[in-house]
């Protein structure tokens, strides 16, 4: 059975938490690596959940899917992360049906991002859907919804200026460094970690600082060498981390580790150090703040940077929202049509049964019975009757569920569900 029709037993939910109410520490608890995501999806499949996608980024962890009750989804999240139900309830949101659909549109188009117009999330949603589909957790409703959100995202990107100007977490971090570090081109910058934000920060640092003293360290040296080659940077071994930190004026931490990788114990400083922690969960222990000369800035603080670029972006919000409404309406029309299509098919079949029986009866009764004419006329009448019913069901003011029930009762039909 396909719950494209938001069936009586299962509801479409969006369940999650984001930077809006959950700080970096809480987001870290609920963050899911790729293994945890796969486990969660497999568990959902085993639990009989029919369609579900899961996304987890540094700003949010979310689930979109069908359930009889949102707690089914919350339980899956808590069982596969370090978060508890109590933690979740303090910061979470649960949307259902139309609200859940609207939420996915806003998230997927960058309108709900920590930095407005950041389109990174749409690629996450795409890959989450591909994984869900491979596990057998993507029904027609979900596929159509994801494709609609992708379409809205593309249109907003090309038809509005909401992503114009360089604004992202990596850009914000470089701007922060430029504003707060004097004589930057002669300072030593150490980048620890080469995740996506780390790579982007690296690119922005090279572009904007004209600094030739950037060193790169990653647990896997090969990855660091790949990036360093692109930007002509120095790569050091992970074992040299402590030594390189002593030489650094600026340390950018962008690792994907689940526990802090930098703490007071490894900082044997000879000069002031600015540390930017761009990781979720946090990868720099708060105890570094106790060391004289250390300034620690976290991703959440950087994201609150508002500048002219963001103001310009906000002016494009109405145009972006209009595109979302348009694509969302097309999606709703599809859902509605798909919902009543089986009833219209069943009604047509019922009327054709009546027609066949009546023609058979009249054929025996009437001499010179013109079968061809009778077939044409009755088929046209059936077509017009079903069109009237379809138009009624398409109407925005129609209570579709009630009308379907009423049609099925009157004509004594049972519509097959969409597969």
User: CA nearest 161: which of 323, 331, 305?
Assistant: 323
Distance CA 379, CA 356 (A): 10
Distance CA 144, CA 140 (A): 6
Set 22, 26, 58, 177: catalytic member:
58
User: What is the dihedral angle through the alpha carbons of 219, 222, 225, 229, rounded to the nearest 10 degrees?
Assistant: -150
Whether 58 is catalytic is yes
User: CA nearest 191: which of 231, 239, 251, 247?
Assistant: 251
User: CA nearest 131: which of 44, 258, 2, 15?
Assistant: 44
Distance CA 350, CA 71 (A): 42
User: CA nearest 115: which of 44, 57, 183, 181?
Assistant: 57
Side-chain-facing half-sphere of 254: CA atoms under 13 Å: 22
Distance CA 44, CA 113 (A): 27
Q: Angle formed by the axes of helices 400-410 and 371-394, to 10°?
A: 150
Find the helix or strand (DSSP H, E) in which 300 lies.
helix 299-303
Distance CA 60, CA 101 (A): 17
Q: Which residues are catalytic?
A: 58
């Amino acid at each position: 059975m396909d719950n494209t029709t938001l069936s009586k037993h299962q509801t479409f939910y969006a369940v999650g938490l984001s930077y809006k109410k959950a700080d970096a520490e809480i987001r870290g608890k609920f963050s899911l690596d790729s293994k945890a995501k796969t486990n969660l999806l497999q568990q959902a499949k085993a639990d009989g959940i029919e369609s579900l996608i899961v996304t987890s980024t540094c700003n949010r962890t979310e689930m979109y899917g069908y359930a009889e009750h949102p707690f089914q989804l919350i339980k899956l999240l808590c069982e596969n992360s370090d978060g508890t139900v109590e933690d979740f309830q303090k910061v979470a949101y649960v949307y259902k049906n139309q609200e859940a659909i609207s939420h996915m549109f806003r998230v997927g188009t960058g309108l709900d991002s920590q930095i407005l117009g950041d389109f990174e999330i749409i690629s996450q949603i795409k890959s989450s859907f591909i994984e869900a589909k491979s596990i057998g957790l993507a029904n027609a409703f979900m596929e159509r919804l994801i494709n609609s959100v992708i379409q809205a995202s593309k249109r907003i990107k090309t038809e509005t200026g909401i992503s114009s100007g360089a604004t992202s977490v990596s850009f914000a971090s470089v701007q922060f460094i430029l504003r707060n570090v004097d004589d930057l081109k002669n300072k030593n910058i150490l980048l620890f970690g080469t995740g996506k934000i780390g790579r982007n920060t690296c690119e922005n640092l090279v572009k904007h600082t004209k600094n030739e003293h950037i060193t790169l360290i990653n647990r896997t040296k090969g990855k660091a060498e790949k990036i360093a080659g692109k930007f002509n940077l120095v790569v050091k071994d992970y074992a040299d981390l402590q030594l390189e930190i002593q030489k650094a004026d600026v340390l950018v931490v962008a690792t994907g580790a689940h526990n802090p990788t930098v703490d007071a114990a490894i900082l044997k400083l000879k000069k002031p150090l600015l540390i930017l922690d761009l990781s979720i969960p946090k990868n720099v222990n708060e105890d570094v703040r106790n060391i004289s000369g250390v300034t620690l800035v976290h991703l959440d603080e950087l994201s609150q940077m508002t500048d002219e670029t963001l103001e310009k972006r906000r002016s494009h919000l109405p145009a972006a929202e209009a595109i979302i409404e348009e694509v969302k309406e097309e999606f709703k029309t599809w859902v509605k049509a798909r919902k009543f299509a089986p009833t219209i098919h069943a009604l047509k079949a019922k009327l054709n049964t009546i027609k066949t029986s009546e023609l058979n009866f009249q054929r025996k009764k009437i001499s010179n019975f013109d079968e061809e004419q009778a077939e044409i006329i009755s088929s046209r009448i059936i077509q017009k009757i079903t069109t009237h019913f379809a138009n009624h069901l398409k109407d925005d003011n129609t209570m579709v569920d009630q009308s379907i029930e009423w049609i099925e009762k009157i004509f004594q039909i049972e519509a097959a569900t969409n597969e």
